[in-house]
Amino acid sequence: MELYQRQAINDYSFWNNFNSSSELLPKTHQELMPGIKWGCYGTLYTPAYWKIQYLLHNENDDFQINYRLGNSILEEVIACLLGGFGMKSEIGLAAFDRLIERNQIKKGVSFDTINASLKEPFLINNKSVHYRFPNQKAKFISQFLNRIDLDSIPFHNDLEFRDWLMTVNGIGAKTASWITRNYLDSENVAIVDIHIYRVGLIAGLFTEHLDIQKDYFEIESRFIDFCKAMDVSPSKMDALMWLQMKASNRTVLKVINNL
């Protein structure tokens, strides 16, 4: 994290444009939202810090993120079903690639077919690993691939689309939001996991009584309002925060413990 921050800060053209721009950051003690100040852009995890990080990354063409994991809605749903809570991304993606290679992501595929593929070990970094909960995930995937309404998915509206996804067994609010963001490039949803929750705790956006599972939509709404107040894209800000908070997990916990 420190390396790419130094590289970005040393980008003279960015700082020259930024300093001559009328879009200078507000003063440290100015409110961004009721009860939340901008803070110093040189202090980790303040709103001003995140705004600067966002502007820095927007100068980089590589920050144009393609969120999709699959080439169809069936593939996108299954890729996200295979990942998620408690699952290392490498294993989830390996399982997804195996189902793609075997042409098993299509309507009408049986539980036994999916289950057999997930139970076979995977070779990752020269180590043989097993997929966790193959029976459960095979059940969710086969049920999804055998739904009778796969030809009438409401793609026309991102929030209706998410509501539909939440009728799929195994998909909760976070996974439904993840698929919606990926597939429809939606800015009306957010993927709130522990990393984004910690950002909100540090900024004073969330309080500890809010639970990611029970209060997901309230947390999401606050995060989207936070992004709008900073004039940033919620989807890009979500991705940027996730990458940085994941990479600096120990620093984040130290900051939270000192609050």
Report all structural domains of the chain as residue ranges with CATH numbers, in order of start. Answer: 26-64+190-257 (1.10.1670), 73-184 (1.10.340.30)
Which pLDDT value is given to residue 245? 86
Give yes or no for residue 3 having a pLDDT over 70.
Answer: no
The percentage of residues in the chain with a pLDDT greater than 90, rounded to a whole number, is: 66
Nearest to 189 by CA among 67, 45, 93: 67
- Report the half-sphere exposure of 201 (CA within 13 A, side-chain side): 21
Which one, of 215, 218, 234, 236, lies nearest residue 226 by Cα? 234
User: What is the rounded average pLDDT of the residues 221-225?
Assistant: 97
pLDDT confidence bin for 135, thresholds 50/70/90? very high
Please name the amino acid found at residue 199: V
Angle in degrees, CA 218, 223, 225, rounded to 5: 95
The per-residue pLDDT for range 229-254, each reduced to its tens digit, is 999 999 999 989 988 888 776 776 67
d(CA 55, CA 52): 5
What is the pLDDT, as a whole number, of residue 60?
67
Per-residue confidence (pLDDT) for residue 259, from 0 to 100: 67
Rounded to two decimals, what is the model's pTM? 0.81
Cβ–Cβ under 8 Å, residues 107 and 150? yes
Residue 99 confidence class, pLDDT cut points 50, 70, 90: very high
